[in-house]
């Protein structure tokens, strides 16, 4: 079917309203998650100034000389730091061969956590590895940490709406995300002076890995596109001050495929606007690494038994990340 639409949902009534307000928002979200796995949200409570500051400091970093950015290159042992242009291929996560994606990025993870066995023992240390911060811009660490904390808050709010939409107690997910292992990345898609290679995109077709992804981007030129059921691609609506939210594979499996994780990509700009760059801020929410991901009770019944074996959140994301980092190893970028 080709008429799938990505809705704009105001979540403020859920965050500030009564039970009927919450039910109305949850119903809209449930429909989007069943049909296409994407939605656009407003009423999220994130200040416009914080969004503007994040874009500004990220633009400042990506404008630095290549050699200076490479001093903070992502090491093999953690998903932190700088990833240079052309060293990742997202389609590899689905075992699809394609040219490297036309993007560079900087990534960080949780910070300020307790120094204890859960976070820094053998099982947890790789998920809570120290972040890598450049000397310039001098404000980058502070701005990024504030934004990360706000995305953590927003993701927890969304998971409360998810629980309500799935006919669970509102705080059902809380003890599964209170030590979450989300990665955050700012991704810069430079202007394209030369035409891309055949099959080469800003971001190759892929599905995300975790529970949900929260996306904020600064332009609709060369934007996010979603694969429809009829095989065509539809752009995700770009509305200033909003966030796009999509489900990841983990949430699809958790809900026994009642909700869907949909293939998406980042398109190249049209050649007439190929000089326009794009920066996206992506918060890849992931439950606690030890959280057991098994069929949510309200998503299975006799005629729809559980389709997936139990797996921990940490094992699931590790499997996915290692596939798309394969390209970095093959290129010798590390």
pLDDT at residue 330 in the model: 55
Query: What does pLDDT average to over the chain?
Result: 91
Q: Which residue has the tokens 């656009």?
A: 40
DSSP 131-155: P---SSSTTHHHHHHHHHHHHHHHH
How far, in whole angstroms, is CA 237 from its chain's centroid?
17
Banded pLDDT at 327 (limits 50, 70, 90): very low
pLDDT at residue 200 in the model: 83
Token pair for 263: 């293939």
| CA-closest candidate to residue 33, choices 208, 162, 223, 177 | 162
Helix (H, G, I), strand (E, B) or coil at 45: coil
| CA-closest candidate to residue 242, choices 11, 21, 27 | 11
pLDDT at residue 8 in the model: 97
Contact yes or no for 289/321 (Cβ under 8 A): no
Dihedral of alpha carbons 209, 210, 211, 212, sign: negative
Residue 255 sits in a domain whose CATH number is 2.60.120.330
Q: Is residue 316 part of a domain?
A: yes
User: Nearest-5° angle of CA 195, CA 200, CA 204?
Assistant: 140
pLDDT at residue 332 in the model: 45
Token pair for 187: 């991704």
Give the model confidence (pLDDT) of 45-96 as tens digits: 999 999 999 999 999 999 999 999 999 999 988 899 999 987 665 555 455 5
Token pair for 307: 């389709």
Token pair for 308: 């997936």
* Average confidence (pLDDT) over 279-295: 97
Q: Is residue 86 part of a domain?
A: yes
Is it the case that residue 120 has pLDDT exceeding 50?
yes
Is it the case that residue 121 has pLDDT exceeding 60?
yes
pLDDT at residue 102 in the model: 86
Is it the case that residue 265 has pLDDT exceeding 80?
yes
Token pair for 207: 């599905």
Domain containing 32: what range?
Answer: 8-330
pLDDT at residue 82 in the model: 97
DSSP 65-97: -HHHHHTTBPPTT-S-EEE-TT---GGGGGT--
Banded pLDDT at 325 (limits 50, 70, 90): low
Q: Is residue 2 part of a domain?
A: no
pLDDT at residue 246 in the model: 97
Q: Is residue 264 part of a domain?
A: yes
Percent of the chain with pLDDT over 70: 91
Helix (H, G, I), strand (E, B) or coil at 321: helix
Is it the case that residue 204 has pLDDT exceeding 90?
no
Q: Is residue 38 part of a domain?
A: yes
Q: Is residue 240 part of a domain?
A: yes
Q: Is residue 85 part of a domain?
A: yes
| CA-closest candidate to residue 24, choices 37, 12, 39, 14 | 14
- DSSP assigned state of 56: H
- DSSP assigned state of 258: S
Q: Is residue 253 part of a domain?
A: yes
Task: Give the C-alpha distances (Å, rounded to integers) separating 107 from 10, 110, 123, 253, 300.
Answer: 29, 11, 21, 26, 36
Is it the case that residue 291 has pLDDT exceeding 80?
yes
Total number of domains in the chain: 1
Highest mean pLDDT out of 73-82, 281-290, 301-310: 281-290
14 or 228: which leads in pLDDT: 14
Percent of the chain with pLDDT over 90: 75
| CA-closest candidate to residue 88, choices 78, 98, 80 | 98
pLDDT at residue 191 in the model: 87
């Amino acid at each position: 079917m080709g008429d799938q639409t990505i809705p704009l949902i105001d979540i403020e009534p859920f965050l500030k309203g009564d039970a009927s307000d919450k039910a109305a928002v949850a119903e809209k979200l449930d429909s989007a998650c069943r049909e296409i796995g994407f939605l656009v949200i407003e009423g999220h409570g994130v200040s416009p100034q914080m969004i503007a500051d994040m874009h500004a400091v990220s633009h400042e970093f990506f404008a630095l000389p290549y050699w200076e950015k490479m001093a903070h290159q992502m090491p093999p042992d953690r998903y932190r730091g700088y990833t240079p242009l052309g060293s990742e291929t997202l389609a590899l996560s689905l075992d699809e061969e394609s040219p490297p994606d036309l993007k560079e990025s900087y990534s960080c993870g949780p910070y300020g956590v307790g120094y204890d066995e859960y976070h820094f023992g053998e099982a947890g240390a790789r998920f809570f590895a120290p972040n890598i911060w450049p000397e310039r811009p001098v404000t980058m660490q502070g701005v990024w940490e504030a934004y990360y904390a706000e995305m953590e808050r927003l993701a927890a709010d969304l998971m409360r709406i998810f629980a309500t939409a799935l006919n669970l107690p509102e705080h059902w997910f809380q003890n599964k995300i209170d030590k979450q292992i989300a990665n955050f990345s700012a991704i810069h898609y430079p202007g394209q002076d030369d035409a891309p290679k055949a099959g080469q995109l800003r971001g190759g077709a892929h599905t995300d890995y975790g529970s949900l992804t929260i996306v904020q981007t600064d332009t609709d030129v060369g934007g996010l596109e979603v694969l429809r059921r009829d095989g065509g691609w539809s752009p995700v609506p770009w509305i200033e001050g909003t966030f796009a939210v999509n489900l990841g594979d983990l949430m699809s499996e958790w809900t026994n495929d009642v909700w869907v994780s949909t293939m998406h990509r980042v398109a190249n700009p049209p050649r007439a606007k190929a000089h326009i760059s794009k920066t996206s801020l992506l918060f890849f929410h992931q439950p606690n690494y030890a959280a057991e991901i098994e069929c949510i009770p309200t998503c299975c019944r006799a005629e729809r038994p559980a389709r997936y074996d139990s797996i921990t959140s940490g094992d699931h994301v590790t499997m996915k990340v290692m596939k798309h980092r394969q390209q970095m190893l093959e290129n010798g970028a590390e």
